[in-house]
Amino acid sequence: MGRQSVRLARNIERWRKRHGAGIHVRYVNADSLLIGFDRPEVE
Amino acid sequence: MRSSILILCLFILAGCNRMVVGVFGIHPYDHNVTWEKKDKLARRMGIKQHDYLVLHHRYARRVEERRGKEPDKHVQAKYQPLQLRWYSPGGRIQWIVPNCDVGGFPNLRWDHFGLPDTLIAPLSSRAYADSAWTITEDLLYMSERKNGLPPTHEVAEKGHLLVYWT
């Protein structure tokens, strides 16, 4: 699992190498968002 | 063959719902997932420590506050496990591309909208972005993985890209 995450990251890195000067890229682990999808009330 | 067509139909019908997330190799939420596993995936993705942020649970509450005020599809898009979010140099959000709008089977085709040659989002992606949102506000719901501290808003000449992953 996570195959699509890895593929996306590879795309982003290729793009950053071509165009990334002056662009700030950060990666956000959003597992907590998926908890929210199931149970939005969870703190 | 028949099962592939069925899965494809499910994907088309599912839109931004999560029902077939696992089929596409995107992490569905695993209640037993450990930080060790997340960090291992982060290494596979090549994420550098100083670029590694974590979204807080309470962000979902912020998204829920928008329910009823914007189309359901827009709310569901913000819950997608993979997203690209682009902000102007000043920090205003410009567009959001969730995985459910990317298309492609069996793998998502991020190059449909320009990666890696350009980074141009379709008009529909701009509709997801509430122009009042800023990256500074979004960062309030995040912390740095390396030390747990709130991330700082750094100056970027051309803009900011946040890559949501699970």
Query: What ipTM goes with this model?
Result: 0.84
Nearest to B62 by CA among B75, B77, B81: B75
pLDDT level of residue B48 (50, 70, 90 thresholds): very high
Nearest CA in chain B to A24: B160
Nearest CA in chain A to B164: A28
Residue A11 burial by CB count (10 A; 0-12/13-18/19+): exposed, middle or buried? buried
User: What value does the mean pLDDT take over residues A6-32?
Assistant: 89
Structure tokens at B124: 């529909």
Of A9, A28, A42, the CB nearest to B57: A42
- The Cβ-side half-sphere exposure at B115, using a 13 Å CA radius, reads 20
Please tell me the distance in Å from B2's CA to the nearest CA on chain A.
Answer: 24
- Residues from chain A contacting residue B82 (CB–CB below 8 Å): 4-5, 8
User: What value does the mean pLDDT take over residues B128-136?
Assistant: 88
Of B28, B52, B55, the CB nearest to A32: B55
Position A16 pLDDT exceeds 70: yes
Angle CA(B136)–CA(B142)–CA(B145) in degrees, nearest 5? Answer: 130
Query: Any idea which residue has 């970027």 for tokens?
Result: B156
Position B14 pLDDT exceeds 50: no
- Residues from chain A contacting residue B153 (CB–CB below 8 Å): none
C-alpha A8/C-alpha A26 separation (Å) is 13
Please tell me the distance in Å from B127's CA to the nearest CA on chain A.
Answer: 20
The CA distances from residue A3 to A40, B1, B107, B123, B142, in Å, are: 26, 22, 9, 27, 24
Contact A25 B38 (CB under 8 A): no
pLDDT of residue A2: 85
Structure tokens at B74: 């827009």
Q: What is the mean pLDDT of chain B?
A: 82
Residue type, B90: G
Query: How far does Cα A19 stand from its chain's mean position?
Result: 18
Nearest to B74 by CA among B119, B118, B124, B21: B124
